[in-house]
């Protein structure tokens, strides 16, 4: 199976740990790049090719959808999932309008597997 590179952006270190644990169990050879906020994510991905992005919405600095918009331009063929606790319809609608997959927290193995399946 092809090795993929996944970007995980969430200001919660615990959330990033949970997501990484699940991804490593399911796809131990895939590469995970993590960032705690949008600005850091934009910087760290400057010289990388990203296949899949898992982004939180409420973060310090730019929010997850603003980040998604910028990353979409940089990686137009990549899949983006917004994994968020902010599950109001307004947020979901904005995500759908942007063509971003919308996944509600809490983080579960089933939900992460569903996200990973988008690039398998």
Q: Which spans of this chain sit near other proteins (rule: CB under 8 A)?
A: 11-15, 17-18, 21-22, 58-60, 85-90, 104-106, 108-109
Q: Please state, in angstroms and as integers, the Cα–Cα distance from residue 114 to each residue in 23, 73, 87, 109, 120, following that order.
A: 11, 24, 18, 9, 10
In whole angstroms, the minimum distance from the beta carbon of 91 to other proteins comes to: 8
The DSSP 8-state label assigned to residue 9 in this structure reads E
CB contact at 8 A, 15 and 42: no
In whole angstroms, the minimum distance from the beta carbon of 80 to other proteins comes to: 20
- Nearer to other proteins among residue 68 and residue 107 (C-beta): 107
Tell me the three state secondary structure of residue 82. strand
In whole angstroms, the minimum distance from the beta carbon of 105 to other proteins comes to: 5
- Nearer to other proteins among residue 8 and residue 50 (C-beta): 8
């Amino acid at each position: 199976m092809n090795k993929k590179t996944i970007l995980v952006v969430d200001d919660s270190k615990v959330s990033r740990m949970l997501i990484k644990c699940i991804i490593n169990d399911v796809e131990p050879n895939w590469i995970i790049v993590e960032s705690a906020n949008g600005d850091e994510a934009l910087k760290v991905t400057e010289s990388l090719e990203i296949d899949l992005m898992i982004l939180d919405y409420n973060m310090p600095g730019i929010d997850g959808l603003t980040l998604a918009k910028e990353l979409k331009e940089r990686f137009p063929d990549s899949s983006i999932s917004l994994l968020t606790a902010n599950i109001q319809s307004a947020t979901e609608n904005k995500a759908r309008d942007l063509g971003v997959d919308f996944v509600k927290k809490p983080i579960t193995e089933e939900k992460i597997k569903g996200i990973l399946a988008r690039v398998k």
